[in-house]
Amino acid sequence: MRIDVVMPTWNSNGPYFEIVIKRIVDNIPINKFILVDRYSTDGTIDVVKKLIPSEKLIIIQTSADLALARAIGIKHVSTEIFAFMDSDVLLPRNLNIEKLCKILKLDKRIGALSLPLCASRKRVANMMQIGRVLKRYGEVSDPEIIKHGLFRLTSGDLFFTLLRRDAVQDWHPPHTLSALEIFSLTQHILAKGYLWIELAEPCLYHLKELRYGTGIRRCIKQGLWTGSNVHLVKIRQKHFFLEVFSRLFGGTLKSILSRDPMGTLNNAFFRIGYLIGYLSRTRYRVWIR
């Protein structure tokens, strides 16, 4: 079956971008490729035009923030099942898209089926094995937040995710939401009675480090960006601080036990940025590219 693919972009033409698009073309039977672009000036659209046949390509240029850009893309979807794909994620060569779509076709309870990043967990032999099933925000207890993390329990990933159009076509996120839009979408899907499931594999390769690098500066920036958007998704203050300090302690302890001092620093500075972003409210809301 052919599916629509929605990709938000904003100056996404890094050294890997052409490979990302080629891997999509090689692995996914595309009905329409819906590009929602924030007026890129780095040749992003030219790369997509070169690799996607014009009859399959829909280009939408908008100054909308990320959540609204995704919602705009959804409005142009015409297939029952479609994919969200990030511009800095590389699909695995062994992706069996037909098998993934079949899971959604056979189980009408599933509203979203996502794949993890390679580093997120140990590899397993069976792609049908479930990595996690997400929960509604109101059903998560304080001890669960401390033990597992709020967003680990309640927010999926959209690196590459297959979604049921009926589960998301009436999603209306805050128009200025630029991060945590995935939390908003996840909770919308769960509130409608659907499941959001992440499989254990096949795994994806995140190429973000090739663009933004690694280390303390990157972690602070990521934290500032995320924290500045928390108010827009109506996370309770108590839960925010439980998340910050439990993840700070848990991440630091894990890094110490694994003898990873850089991991300890990165986790600490991400949480510091996260807290500053939250306290400054909207100052760092948009990650400028």
Rounded Cα distance, 133 and 143, in Å? 18
> What's residue 63's pLDDT?
97
| Helix extents (H) in 76-162 | 97-106, 142-148, 150-154
Q: Mind listing the pLDDT tens digit for each residue in 207-222? A: 876 566 667 888 899 9
Contacts of 272 (CB under 8 A, 6+ apart): 220, 223
Amino acid 205: pLDDT = 86
CB 87 within 8 A of CB 12: yes
Is the confidence at residue 186, as pLDDT, over 90? yes
Task: Please state the three-class secondary structure of 217-247 as a single string.
Answer: HHHHHHHHHHHCCHHHHCCCHHHHHHHHHHH
pLDDT at 107: 95
Q: pLDDT tens, 36-46?
A: 999 999 999 99
Amino acid at 44: T
**DSSP notation for 247-268:** HHHHHHHHHHHTT-HHHHHHHH
Provide the CATH topology of domain 3-208.
Answer: Spore Coat Polysaccharide Biosynthesis Protein SpsA; Chain A (3.90.550)
Position 27: which residue type?
A: N
Count of beta carbons in the 10 Å neighbourhood of residue 92 = 16
- As a whole number, the mean pLDDT across the chain is 91
The two structure tokens encoding residue 109: 């309870």
How confident is residue 267, by pLDDT bands cut at 50, 70 and 90? Answer: confident
Secondary structure class of 198 (helix, strand, coil): strand
Q: In the structure encoding, which two tokens stand for residue 221, read together?
A: 């920036």
Do 273 and 217 touch, CB atoms closer than 8 A? no
pLDDT at 127 over 60: no
- In the DSSP assignment, the letter for residue 113 is E
Task: Let me know: does 279 contact 244? Beta carbons within 8 Å.
Answer: no
Pairing outcome for strands 160-164 and 110-114? antiparallel
Residue 117 to residue 215: CA distance in whole angstroms: 19
The single residue listed with the structure tokens 């590389």 is 90
Whether 4 has a pLDDT exceeding 60, the answer reads yes
What's the confidence (pLDDT) of residue 247?
86
**pLDDT score, position 268:** 86
Poorest-confidence range of 79-88, 130-139, 184-193, 204-213?
204-213
What are the sequence ranges of the domains in the chain?
3-208, 213-279
154-180: per-residue pLDDT in tens? 999 999 999 999 999 999 999 999 999
Cβ atoms of residues 103 and 1 within 8 Å: no
Q: What is the pLDDT of residue 98?
A: 94
Residues in contact with 16: Cβ distance below 8 Å, sequence separation at least 6, in sequence order: 88, 90, 207, 210
pLDDT digits (tens, 9 = 90+) for 80-118: 999 999 999 999 988 999 999 999 999 999 999 999 988
Predicted pLDDT of residue 151: 95
Report whether 204 contacts 253 (CB < 8 A): no
Amino acid at 106: L
Please, are residues 193 and 135 in contact by the beta-carbon 8 Å criterion? no
Q: Could you give the strand order of the β-sheet that contains 130-133, starting from the edge strand earlier in sequence?
A: 57-61, 30-37, 3-9, 81-85, 160-164, 110-114, 195-199, 130-133
pLDDT grade, residue 125 (50/70/90)?
A: very low
Helix axes 237-257, 261-279, angle to 10 degrees: 170
Residues in the chain: 289
Share of the chain above pLDDT 70, in %: 90
